[in-house]
Amino acid sequence: MSLAIVICILVIGFSLLWWTCRGGGKSPPGPFGLPIVGYMPWLGSKMNLTLTKLWEQYGDVYSIRVGSRQLVVVNGQRAIRGALATNDHFAGRPDFFTFRLVSGFDDFSPAYS
pLDDT digits (tens, 9 = 90+) for 27-67: 788 888 887 788 888 888 888 899 899 999 999 999 888 88
DSSP for residue 113: -
- Residues forming beta bridges with residue 38, ordered by sequence position: 34, 66
Q: Side chain identity at 65, as an amino acid letter?
A: R
Q: What is the rounded distance in angstroms from the CA atom of residue 20 to the CA atom of residue 68? A: 8
Q: What count of other Cβ atoms lies within 10 Å of the Cβ of residue 64? A: 24
Buried b / exposed e along 7-37 (16+ C-beta atoms within 10 A) = eeeeeeeeeeeeebeeeeeeebebbebeeee
Q: What is the pLDDT of residue 62?
A: 92
Strand runs labelled E in the chain: 61-66, 69-74
Give kind and range of the element (H or E) at residue 83. Answer: helix 77-86
The letter for the amino acid at 81 is: R
pLDDT digits (tens, 9 = 90+) for 68-108: 788 888 888 888 888 777 666 666 656 666 656 555 555 55
Amino acid at residue number 37? V
